[in-house]
Amino acid sequence: MYAILDIESTGGKYNEEGIMEIAIYRFDGHSVVDKFVSLINPEREIQPFVTKLTGINNKMLGTAPKFHEVAKRILEITQDAVLVAHNAQFDYRILRTEFRRLGYNYHRKTLCTVDVSKKLLPEAESHSLGKLVRSLGIPVSDRHRANGDAMATLKLFKLLLTKDLEKSIIKSTTRAETLGQLTTRQLDIVESLPADIGVYYMYDKDGTILFLGSTRNIKKRVNQHFTNVGPLARQLQKATKKVSFERTGSELTAVLKSEIEVAKNTPILNKSFKVSKFSHGIFAAYDAAGFLQLNAEKANGQPKRLSSFTSLKESHHFLNKITLEYQLDKPTTQELHNEKVMKILKQYSTQNRTVALIDRGRELGERSVFLIKNGVFKGLGYVDLNHQVNNIHILEAIIAPFEGGVNTIQIIESYLRKSRMQIVELES
């Protein structure tokens, strides 16, 4: 027996989401024998992007039943059934979270149609639900609503059952009840962690760091380590006795700290950071007419480097992006064109510059700062006042000095390409 499931959640911080709509079809392998579809009052605000995606708003849920009012019905319709969902880990986690809030430990076996479709339909261009069912000619309506997505998943599952002639894949991809289930110790660890950007450290019984990493959501990432499958996850699940963390506020701070601290601490389960070869880049040079042109080419110590890349393809991709953004291909005067290019260089280049890069801090009023002196990364820290940033001598006293490896500048430049950080020019 199967329970085909889809949940629409409110969004929000990891493990703080609520269910706002649920659809379950009880399926015996041949036909639907029961179904349950309902809006649910999540007793929390819906994130704006979720409303835009689903069309469900807070007003619609005002008179809907609360989860505790439908919990018994959900227990009944999923009793002795395998939960089937597209990205089952997400739906199962949300459902277990809601039951846990009621003081009930909810367990079911699960089967993920993403996993099954990847094995039975490896040639599919995409395994996302919408694109996959369309490519298979499966009619789907009411996308991003629980009933529509559950029905699409049911039709997809029927097709997969038909294609699974040996029945071996369905058996092998049925996850054990314990998948997604944390031990009491692991649950206590996860509950103690914040859903914030930072670095986390996983220790064994002797206090030795087994693994450290950076993430945008510490609670979510550690929970994934405890519930995922694979060699690393199994080792961490078996050996981890304690997890500590450091909030960083800035994603760049987290990435840089983890790179540097992995090199210093050499945790036994961290893979060594690969040394990237900055073989290519985008460089600025004047043409015969005096126009400052940007070119993607192999790196050979050229001046006026905009940014470093590990391939020519990457370089061309970013060059095309900024050409469109700044309309560099449109006819204009030499002066205006060169002004645009200089503006781009100031936004993205760190070569031979002495600057402070400013990003988000850990709390209101605080900002993280990264010092680059003559093109070399010197360290990072946190500041509260503008004069701490503008005075390089104060800044050098505040920051924690780090000797960045060969990856450091590329990490910083790649972050500049995707995040508009404030850049403060300094006198060295």
pLDDT one-digit tens code per residue, 15-72: 778 899 999 999 887 789 999 999 999 888 888 888 888 888 888 888 899 999 999 9
Looking at the structure, do residues 114 and 206 belong to the same domain, yes or no? Answer: no
Q: Is the pLDDT of residue 172 over 70?
A: no
Domain count of the chain? 4
Q: What is the Cα 46 distance to its own chain's centre? A: 20
Show the tokens assigned to 129: 């639900």
Q: Is the pLDDT of residue 358 over 50?
A: yes
Q: What is the pTM of this model?
A: 0.61
Could you tell me the residue range of the domain that residue 367 belongs to?
Answer: 355-425
Q: Residues 306, 314: contact at Cβ < 8 Å?
A: no
Quickly list H helices, 273-391.
312-325, 334-348, 386-390
**pLDDT given for residue 180 in this prediction:** 53
Q: Is the pLDDT of residue 178 over 60?
A: no
Residue 10: other Cβ atoms inside 10 A: 23
Looking at the structure, do residues 43 and 166 belong to the same domain, yes or no? Answer: yes
**pLDDT given for residue 406 in this prediction:** 58
Question: Per-residue pLDDT averaged across 363-386, rounded?
Answer: 88
Q: Is 93 helix (H, G, I), strand (E, B) or coil?
A: helix
Return the minimum-mean-pLDDT range out of 24-33, 166-175, 194-203, 387-396.
Answer: 166-175
> Looking at the domain assignment, is residue 51 inside a domain?
yes
Q: What is the pLDDT of residues 238-250, one digit of tens each?
A: 999 999 998 999 9
**pLDDT given for residue 108 in this prediction:** 87
**Amino acid residing at 279:** S
**pLDDT given for residue 165 in this prediction:** 60
Question: Per-residue pLDDT averaged across 81-102, rounded?
Answer: 89
CA dist 331 and 426 (Å) reads 34
Task: With cut-offs at 50, 70 and 90, classify the pLDDT of residue 176.
Answer: very low
Looking at the structure, do residues 57 and 198 belong to the same domain, yes or no? Answer: no
Residue with tokens 């950071």: 273
Q: Is the pLDDT of residue 274 over 60?
A: no
CA dist 315 and 97 (Å) reads 44
Task: With cut-offs at 50, 70 and 90, classify the pLDDT of residue 269.
Answer: very high
CA dist 59 and 41 (Å) reads 10
**pLDDT given for residue 262 in this prediction:** 87
Task: With cut-offs at 50, 70 and 90, classify the pLDDT of residue 117.
Answer: confident
Looking at the structure, do residues 360 and 303 belong to the same domain, yes or no? Answer: no
CA dist 244 and 317 (Å) reads 39
Looking at the structure, do residues 344 and 388 belong to the same domain, yes or no? Answer: no
**pLDDT given for residue 175 in this prediction:** 47
By C-alpha distance, which of 188, 264, 270, 261 is closest to 235? Answer: 270
> Looking at the domain assignment, is residue 275 inside a domain?
no
CA dist 211 and 220 (Å) reads 16
By C-alpha distance, which of 7, 14, 18, 361 is closest to 222? Answer: 14
**At which of 303, 333, 348 does a domain end?**
348
By C-alpha distance, which of 69, 82, 75 is closest to 28? Answer: 82
Question: Per-residue pLDDT averaged across 376-394, rounded?
Answer: 84
